[in-house]
Amino acid sequence: MPELRKDPILGRWVIIATERAKRPSDFKPEPAPVSRGFCPFCEGNEDKTPPEIRAYRQPGSRGNGPDWRIRVVPNKFPALQIEGDLDNRGDGIYDMMNGIGAHEVIIETPKHEVSLTPLSDGHVAEVLEAYRERLMDLKKDPRLACGMIFKNVGTTAGASLEHTHSQLIVTPIVPKRVVEEMDGAKQFYNFRGRCIFCDMIKQELRSQTRIVVSSDHFVAFEPYAARFPFETWVLPKVHSSHFEDLTEPQRFDLAVVLKRTLGKIEKALQMPPYNYIIHSAPFIEPSMKHFHWHFEIIPRLTKMAGFEWGTGFYINPVPPEAAAQDLRDVR
């Protein structure tokens, strides 16, 4: 019998479709993208991107030249623009705003790697530090409300270049989904006096059935109402609402947990396309007792069909307990 499960934060229901149950090997790996030969993100091609905003470089090296470890550059085709004034207008019953914001690319290594996982733990920790620094910098701009760090891997997941990179979009309004997450968590907090994410972590660690990786500071698990096969969340064990408050010991630990989790997903599903996004409280909010920042990792194995688009109701053919078991089994 299929099961309906409710996401405790958003109130969104998911169908765990036992009649359609799938094993990891049922998901065909995506054909490897044709390497286009030339990569603007590789070392030596620095002049093929817009000038860097920030770089982590060897001492003595020159900006926009070689000898860097991580570069942050503006997106060449930005969804939002940093220059201009905010302008909010109506048009009959409609509302619009001009597209002020930021859209940056974090190039994670000078070498042509297609994943974060071959990088050293220290290097991944520095990537996380780059995320943090860019958020801290953009947070100073009073026009901007919310910063979102995300990663697209594979063409199916929306990546146009294979060289490992992340993106940062900062918006002048708080996106609806972020508002809903805060509101759902707030409601639970008002009722129980506790953070719902902290409660989830406790319950997950107790039952162990959906745990993928657990370390001193972080835990990775399959959420109870996972929308997608092998959807995985990574959360700090100690309550914190803003990713940018990440401490140094947390940073190294997160680098290890993120690499292990992604490595397991890559091995179990043969380098699937995936997205991850950091859900963190908006810039404009102070530290919150009810919200808990986290990564959501979504392997792109199934196709969204009309039903999901129209209803926000997902059909997941892999129970999260089975997915967690498969990921734990990866050595």
Kindly calculate the radius of gyration of the chain based on its CA atoms and give it in whole angstroms.
Answer: 20
Contacts of 218 (CB under 8 A, 6+ apart): 234, 235, 236, 237, 250, 253, 254, 257
CA-to-CA dists, residue 35 to 1, 38, 39, 163, 299, angstroms: 45, 8, 9, 10, 22
Q: Which of 109, 171, 232, 240 binds its own copies (CB under 8 A)?
A: 171
Locus of tokens 């926000």: 312
Q: Which residue, 178 or 288, has its beta carbon nearer to its own copies?
A: 178
Asked if 276 touches its own copies (CB under 8 A), the answer is yes
Asked if 290 touches its own copies (CB under 8 A), the answer is no
Q: Cβ distance 28 to 329 under 8 Å?
A: no
Q: Cβ distance 225 to 12 under 8 Å?
A: yes
Residues 50-79 that bind its own copies (CB under 8 A): 77-79
Asked if 178 touches its own copies (CB under 8 A), the answer is yes
Q: Which residue, 99 or 122, has its beta carbon nearer to its own copies?
A: 99
Give strand pairing partners of 164: none
Which of 103, 163, 165, 217 is catalytic? The answer is 165
Per-residue exposure over 24-59, b if at least 16 CB sit within 10 Å of its own CB, e if not = beebeebeeeeeeeeebbbbeebeebeebbbbebee
Q: Which residue, 242 or 279, has its beta carbon nearer to its own copies?
A: 279
Q: Which of 73, 125, 225, 265 binds its own copies (CB under 8 A)?
A: 225
Residues 189-208 that bind its own copies (CB under 8 A): 196, 199-200, 203, 207
| Min CB(1)–its own copies separation in Å | 5
Q: Is 239 a catalytic residue?
A: no
Neighbours of 191 (CB within 10 A): 9
Q: How far apart are the first and last CA of the chain?
A: 32
| Min CB(67)–its own copies separation in Å | 30
Q: Which residue, 34 or 305, has its beta carbon nearer to its own copies?
A: 305
Q: Cβ distance 56 to 43 under 8 Å?
A: no
x-or-dash string of contact with its own copies, 12-51, rule CB under 8 A: xx-xxxxxx-------------------------------
Residues 87-116 that bind its own copies (CB under 8 A): 91-99
Span from 47-55, 105-113, 124-132, 309-317 in contact with its own copies (CB under 8 A): 309-317
Distance CA(64)–CA(50), nearest Å, equals 9
Residues 238-267 that bind its own copies (CB under 8 A): none
Q: Which residue, 218 or 276, has its beta carbon nearer to its own copies?
A: 276
Q: Annotated active-site positions, please?
A: 165
